[in-house]
Structure 1
Amino acid sequence: MNYLKNIDNFDNIALVLYQKDDLRLEQWPLEDSLKSNECLLQAHSCGICGTDLTLWKKGFVADFVVKNPYVLGHEPSAVVIAVGNDVTHLKPGDRVAVEPAIPCLECEFCRSGRYNLCPISNQQSHGLPPADGCLRRYYVHRADFCYKLPENVSLEEGAIVEALAVVVHACRRVNVGIGHNVVVCGAGPVGIMSALCAKAFGANKVLITDIDKSRLDLAKELGIDEVIHIDINNFNDKQVAQTIKEQMSSDALGADVTIECTGVESSVCLAIYATKSGGKVGIVGLGGNPRIPLSCAAMREVDLIGVCRIKDDYQLAIKLISSGKLNVKPLITHKFRIEEAIDAFNLLKSGQQGVLKVLIQY
């Protein structure tokens, strides 16, 4: 299908990662065809997350290694420019949030409903090497992984949907429910959204920890019940865990559920110690392979539950924003034009206080 006629003054500027510490803005080729189940998108906003930052600083994250130049970006919102012949739920002009990982829909995992575990999606997750991401002006994507945004949800909020969908999946994985006491480790964008999502899921009390007091202040403003500021110069995970238990409930047994969003070894240990016997710890943060107190978890039957991306969570994430149950706007602290994208990455790298979600916009 010839869709280039839908584009005036073709300019596909993209943010390309060549290797560790080598990030460039340059023109990127457009796919030469549009399949019947695909749509052509024009980028609007794309969030930068810790994964992007790690890929830039280290050249890898988890099992994803930068071997060839590729386009970054996996938290996008966009506008539909053209649709394939079989696409009926979208039309040109629609505003969409885009789910970046594309599964095969044929393997054992996909057929059982757990498409987020599809091995093919690891190779086709837009924005993770080797698959080109969404920080380019135009790109083609499978239409059934594009979700139309309601009128009351902005395209900037649409760029938060991917991260929120991960959080929704995490809360579903650990079965956050009515009356639960929940601890969240890490008050970055994902951590704060985890805490807010736990409240939306019916949690009784939610406590969040972080080393950055400004982030904890924002969490309190957004309605999180309790916060604990971690002093990294005087940190003892068991002592902090005991403080958390005492703040969580009168019986000081600990959290029913803990969601760990940092991937930092000391924080993962804290998550296990702060969870009551028989409770659950959801592992969201990816920080390598930390040494953790497995014997403590095993002897108290604390379940460590992995959280892998997203599984049918976009629609609920969009509803949480649209209904007003979850306000993501305060998390967007900085916005940069695509021409300033490298400045955006340098800001995140600086660790400057007050920086939460950074958007790159076209």
Structure 2
Amino acid sequence: MGQNGKAENISFVLEDIKRVKFETSPVPTLQDPHDVVIRVKFTGICGSDVHYWDHGRIGQFVVEKPMVLGHESSGIVAQVGPKVKSLKVGDAVALEPGVPCRRCDDCKAGHYNLCSKMEFAATPPYDGTLTRYYRLPEDLCYKLPEGVSLQEGAVVEPLSVAVHLVRQAQVSPGSAVVVFGAGPVGLLCGAVARAFGAAKVIAVDIQAGRLEFARTFAATASFLPSRVAPAENARALVLEHGLGQGADVVIDASGAEASVHTGIHLLRPGGTYVQGGMGRDEINFPIMAVCTKELNLKGSFRYSSGDYKLAVELIATGQVRVADLITKTFKFEDAERAFEAVKAGQGIKTLIAGPDGHKHSRSSL
């Protein structure tokens, strides 16, 4: 509370590259009858957050003015608009941190992740969720079922990214799936693929420690690439894991050029490749293999209709154990230390508690 007894909104703000501060601003107010205000309880750190902190930009998105970081959050509903029907004060929710225009062709077709007017948290120029209070429309707040913790709720966002990737790949029962990159999203892709019925989920990474964890989490097997040509690694993986003509599905969650090449080469004819990891803007590409094997190539960007809802259900039913990924939770005042830890590659999924700490009060403003 401020000196006048009113609630204050403290936020973790990126001023410039590796220059951050804590800043107090007015508590957000309801702008629409369907809005809710959430008291943020936990926020996960994403690679994009670290990239903005470390470099000040991602592709065309450039930090040109101070911006609140964070977008993987959960919290407690603190205020509801007069037309809100699905939520009440005190409900625990996962936040979907992007507000589309709802009117363009992509939005109306259910592909709102492609909306050109998307207002996405912690993507310039829009502020993120590392704050005490955050406002969203009610349909972008997903009530957490009993038994799902607020910490798990903060991992719904990256899980939804994985759900979208696996849905893009059209993974079906019995599929052989290879996932490149054993970071949080890659690990979650493996878990979602298993939930979709994949018979084999093979994790690929250049760090043996990550592969060891992947095997305990969801992967049925793993592969550590050698310092050879991608096509040679692809042949070795196919032989080592008995994939016959190749994998049914490859999902790249690394963005590494070598992974892209290896993935294309190890797919069976007619297989499906989905790109989720973002690396360099342009890379060399094995186009001949794509053509002669008549592969299906897809991109994947964030999440769209139904992905968040399914992610919550996968956690609630125990099909994806997101709590196993949470390595450490930092206090809000130690947010910069949390970013430094993630940059240093420490742990798997790091959370930052809200400004009010671990208190799970379900009271209003």
Q: Which TM-score band applies after superposition, normalised by the shorter structure? A: over 0.9
Q: Distance in 1 between matches of 2:272 and 2:293?
A: 11
Classify 1:277/1:145 alpha carbon distance in 2 versus 1 (closer, same or farther; 3 Å).
Answer: same
Structure 2 residue identity aligned to 1:119: S
- Is the CA contact 2:178–2:202 (under 8 Å) kept in the aligned structure 1? yes
**Identity score, percent:** 39
- Is the CA contact 1:208–1:227 (under 8 Å) kept in the aligned structure 2? yes
| Structure 1 segment 1-362 matched on structure 2, within 5 A | 10-121=7-118, 124-231=119-226, 234-249=227-242, 251=244, 253-289=245-281, 290-311=283-304, 312-352=306-346, 355-362=347-354
C-alpha deviations, 1:48-73, integer Å up to 9, x for none?
Answer: 11111111111111332111111111
Structure 1 residue identity aligned to 2:299: G
CA shift for structure 1 position 20: 2.2
- Is the CA contact 2:176–2:243 (under 8 Å) kept in the aligned structure 1? no
Q: Distance in 1 between matches of 2:99 and 2:272?
A: 29
C-alpha deviations, 1:228-273, integer Å up to 9, x for none?
Answer: 1235xx243122111221134352x111000100111111222211
- Is the CA contact 2:8–2:26 (under 8 Å) kept in the aligned structure 1? no
Classify 1:107/1:229 alpha carbon distance in 2 versus 1 (closer, same or farther; 3 Å).
Answer: same
Q: Distance in 2 between matches of 1:140 and 1:8?
A: 21
Q: What's the Cα RMSD here?
A: 1.8
Greater displacement, 63-72 / 37-46: 63-72
Q: Distance in 2 between matches of 1:186 and 1:79?
A: 33
Q: Distance in 2 between matches of 1:283 and 1:8?
A: 50
CA shift for structure 1 position 223: 3.8
- Is the CA contact 2:94–2:156 (under 8 Å) kept in the aligned structure 1? yes
SS of residue matched to 2:27: coil
Structure 1 residue identity aligned to 2:180: C
Which structure 2 segments of 5+ residues have no match? 355-365
CA shift for structure 1 position 302: 1.7
SS of residue matched to 1:120: coil
Q: Distance in 2 between matches of 1:276 and 1:20?
A: 44
Structure 1 residue identity aligned to 2:320: L
Question: TM-score normalised to the size of structure 2?
Answer: 0.92
CA shift for structure 1 position 9: 5.0
Which structure 1 segments of 5+ residues have no match? none
SS of residue matched to 2:139: helix
CA shift for structure 1 position 358: 0.5
CA shift for structure 1 position 126: 1.2
CA shift for structure 1 position 32: 4.5
- Is the CA contact 2:29–2:135 (under 8 Å) kept in the aligned structure 1? no
Q: Distance in 1 between matches of 2:295 and 2:133?
A: 46
Greater displacement, 178-187 / 16-25: 16-25
Structure 2 residue identity aligned to 1:31: P
Question: TM-score normalised to the size of structure 1?
Answer: 0.93
- Is the CA contact 1:181–1:248 (under 8 Å) kept in the aligned structure 2? no
